[in-house]
Structure formats: structure tokens, C-alpha cells
A and B are shown apart, each in its own frame.
Chain A
């Protein structure tokens, strides 16, 4: 067999895709039960892992190792700091932020308002959202990216998840087997995670089109239509080498999203939004560390279920994306020091998330607390449409709605193309130019997995399936950290 990893990875993801298409409720049910068992039993371990990754990042950034370069000692950064920061933004600013911008804080508001008055509930809801998208999430990405960059650029190993394991423990049989399994798990986690994002993006674009053109009851037809256009849109970029074209598309999406943020901040109740952002930032900085260890063990089942379906799901979702985003941020960070890398990757995108949710969530809270708009009913009945409902309350809503559709679509295309590239690279032993045939195969599988998630027609099912794919990666990321710390011991500083 020429490339067993590629064949096994394609087989596993194809089987999951076929299972999901033939028996969508069966797969969703299996995912929900398995993930619930895992979350009940190992919640403490997942929270401890993400807190450990953050603490390790802070220690490394301020230790003597912080001065080490992710590259040879005389390597200089490839991109200017400003351009590097912009690319970090675009890596974190996927379709998820567009989808959840208003929806997530308001969903937490609904849950928390059962226990608190509405003003305190808004504060807590914003804190929880900031926590899910903040330092812990970015520490997962940063550690994975740092390990990949260190072994690739400083020790000259291929950009693979298995490289640190083989470098540190040698080319003997056991490290090679463990490395092979780690690569396989990373591939499965990326493929399933991407499938989930495709589904979320398609749901949102479909809702946006309905709002923009005043369509009603389009059923499944429009969803499948959007999905088909998406598949057609990424086939061409997969067959030609667009070089920096994809980065341009991604930056264009980022610009549209940034313009939307500024527009809403200025057109909306600016005093309220800025007040919310500053307060949200303070609440977050004051409590993020303790919250990272919170497992809600002594609370009732309702809170426990909320914790599993949000906090734990998010943490494993970031783990699912870690190899993909890690490779991306590693590639753009050659020549940076560990200190600079960790501080910037963890703090800057987190600060942007606080700003983003402060504006989008703040608009929702303003509507709930100061107007009679039935926003919470929209959250209950149609979560994919919440952002558009809020945009509809402002001037030029057709322009802003079109902007969200455009940005979501661009993010989707660039994510799928980049993921197909990374999957091609991982499954061919680190080949930096995987063949068109391999990239198209992965593009096809990502589309099929996206279709599975779309057919499930439930964002909860999507979240469970992603968590199922990502869970083994909790173990891999810790093993990578040990490899990295062992390698650091040999550095002469």
C-alpha cells in the first residue's frame, strides 16, 4: 500500500459521511450518547487540560525559553507585524463568529435568566461568551501552532502532528505507530470539525437569503441550493494554485466583517455597546482564570447539561480545529520568538472577540432590555436567523444582510480550500504541494461531511458530531506539549 494513512483516513471519514447520509438520526444519536458519557466522566480532565495549556503558555512566554525563535536563530519574520496580526484575526474570525455573534450571548441569556434578573443575566451571558472565545480557546491554538512551528522551522521536521513525537522519541516502531495514530486523529478531527462549520455557514447564508429576498418556507430546497453553490465555488480553487489568492479572499471577508462591526457600533446605541464592551472586558479579566477550572459539579442537571452542550463542546471544538489553525498560524509565524508568538496569538484575537461579542451581543441585549422587540422568541425559534433579525432593526439592513451573507460565504470557501490543503499535506507525510487529485478527494469528503451535518438539521447534533471527532485530540495535544518541553530541555540558552 503506497500511502496507508491517506487510505485509512479517507475510509474512516467516508464511512462517517455515508453513515450520516444514510442514517442521519442514528449518527446524531450515537454522537450525542457517546459525547454525553465522555463529558460526564471526563469534564474535569478537559477543563484541566485547557487551563493547563493556558498556564503553560503564560509560563513559557515569560520564561527564558520565551526568547527562543520559532526558526533558526538568524531567521527573521516573513510578514510584517501588522500583516501577521491581520492574518491571525482572519484565522480566528471564521464563520463561527458571524453565526454566534448575537445568537450565543442571547442563548446564554435565556438560560441564565431562569436564575437571575435580566440585567445580571446579560452580564453573565456576555462573560460566558467571552470565556468560550477567549484566552483558553486561543491557548489551545497557540500551543499547537507553537509546537508545529518549533519542530518544523527550528528542528526541520515536516509540518505534521507526528513530527514532535518521532523527533523526541526516535524513529523506532512505537513512536512511529503513535505518530501515525496522532496524524490520523488530527485528520479525522479537522474533517469533521470543518464539516460542522460548513453546515453552520450554509444555515446562516440560507437564512440571510430568505431575509434579503423576503422568501418564506423555502424548506430544504434553498439549503441544498446554497450547499451546491458552495461546493461548486471551492472546486476551482482546489484545482489551481491560487497562491496568495486565498489569503486575499480571506482578508476581504475580514474587511467586510470589520466594516460591519464599525457600522453597527456607530449606528447602534454606541454608549450602551461601549459600556458593555468595557464591562465585559473587566468581568472577563477578573474571572477567566477561576472559570477555567469550573466544572459545575455541584449544580443541578439543567446547569450540567448546559455546561456540556456549551463550554465543554466549545473546548473540544477548538481542539478539533487546533491542528488546522495550528498549521496555519505556524506557517505565518516563522522567525517570531516564542514570547511574541504566545502573547500575540492568545491576547489579540481574544481582545477582538470581546469587541465582536460586545457589539453583536450588546445589540441583542439592548433590544431585550430597552425595547419590546421579540428577540428572545427569534432565539428560541430560529437561532440561525438571530443576526439578521438584529440587523433588520438598523438602516441599510439589506446592505448589512448582504454583507453578512458575502462574508460567511467567503469564509466558508477559504476554510474548505485551506482545510483540503492541510488534510492533503497531513495525509501525504507533510508534502507541501499535495496533488490536485488528493485535494479534490478531501474537498469531496468535506462536502459530504458538511451534507451530513446539514441533513441532521440541528445545530445540537452538529455540535455533538464535532465533539465526537475531536475528543481523542485532547490526549494528543498533551503528548505534543510533553514532546515540546522535552525538546526545550536540550536548548542551550
Chain B
């Protein structure tokens, strides 16, 4: 398989995993937290 394509495809995956981890730890907006607590 083309090495460059393989590298690009896996960099996308690494970036996606990084994004997920960042999203998980990112503090929530206050209005959303309040709305959630109401429910």
C-alpha cells in the first residue's frame, strides 16, 4: 500500500482520537450544564 496514503489515513485517526480526548476534558458551557441539571 502507498506509504503516504497510509500515513495520511492514520494521522486522521490520531487527530480524531486527540479531538475526542480534548472534547471529553473540555469544560462545558454553563448554560448547557444548568439545562442538563434541570432535566
- B-binding residues in A (CB < 8 A): 37-38, 40-42, 45, 154-156, 167-170, 475, 478-479, 482, 485-487, 490, 492
Provide the residues of chain B in CB contact with A168, threshold 8 Å: 28, 32
CA distance A479 to B9 in the complex (A): 18
Q: Are A37 and B33 in contact (CB under 8 A)?
A: no
Q: B5, A37: Cβ atoms under 8 Å?
A: yes
CA distance A231 to B3 in the complex (A): 46
Which of A155, A169, A475 interacts with B16 by CB under 8 Å?
A: A475
A40 touches B20 (CB 8 A): no
Question: What are the residues of chain A within 8 A of B9 when measuring CB–CB?
Answer: 37-38, 41-42
List CB contacts (< 8 Å) of B1-39 with chain A: 1, 5-6, 9-10, 13, 16, 20, 23-24, 28-29, 31-33, 36-37, 39
Q: Are A155 and B36 in contact, with the CB atoms below 8 A?
A: yes
* Residues in A whose Cβ lies below 8 Å from that of B16: 475, 478
CB atoms of B36 and A40 under 8 A apart: no
Q: Are A40 and B24 CB-contacts (below 8 A) given A45-B13, A155-B36, A490-B33?
A: no
Distance (whole angstroms) from the CB of B6 to the closest CB of chain A? 5
Query: Is the pair B1, A478 in contact by a Cβ cutoff of 8 Å?
Result: no
Find chain B residues with CB under 8 A from A154 CB: 39
Contact B32 A42 (CB under 8 A): no
- Return the chain A residue nearest B8 by Cβ: A41
Nearest chain B CB to A447's CB is how many angstroms away? Answer: 34
Instruction: Give the Cβ gap from A68 to chain B, nearest Cβ, in Å.
Output: 13
Taking a contact as CB atoms under 8 Å apart, the answer to whether B24 and A486 are in contact is yes
CB neighbours of B6 from chain A (8 A): 40-41
A41 to B37, CA, bound (A): 42
22 A-B pairs within 8 Å (CB atoms) are namely A37-B1, A40-B1, A40-B6, A41-B6, A41-B10, A45-B10, A154-B39, A167-B32, A168-B28, A170-B31, A170-B32, A478-B16, A478-B20, A479-B20, A479-B23, A482-B20, A482-B23, A482-B24, A486-B24, A490-B33, A490-B36, A490-B37
Contact B10–A42 (Cβ < 8 Å): yes
Q: Are B5 and A487 in contact, CB atoms less than 8 angstroms apart?
A: no
Task: Give the shortest distance, in Å, between A222 (CB) and chain B (any CB).
Answer: 41
A456 vs chain B, min Cβ distance (A): 25
Residues of chain A within 8 A of B39, CB atoms compared? 154-156
New contact pairs (11) apart from A42-B13, A482-B24, CB-CB < 8 Å: A37-B5, A40-B1, A40-B6, A41-B1, A41-B6, A42-B10, A167-B32, A169-B23, A170-B29, A170-B31, A482-B20
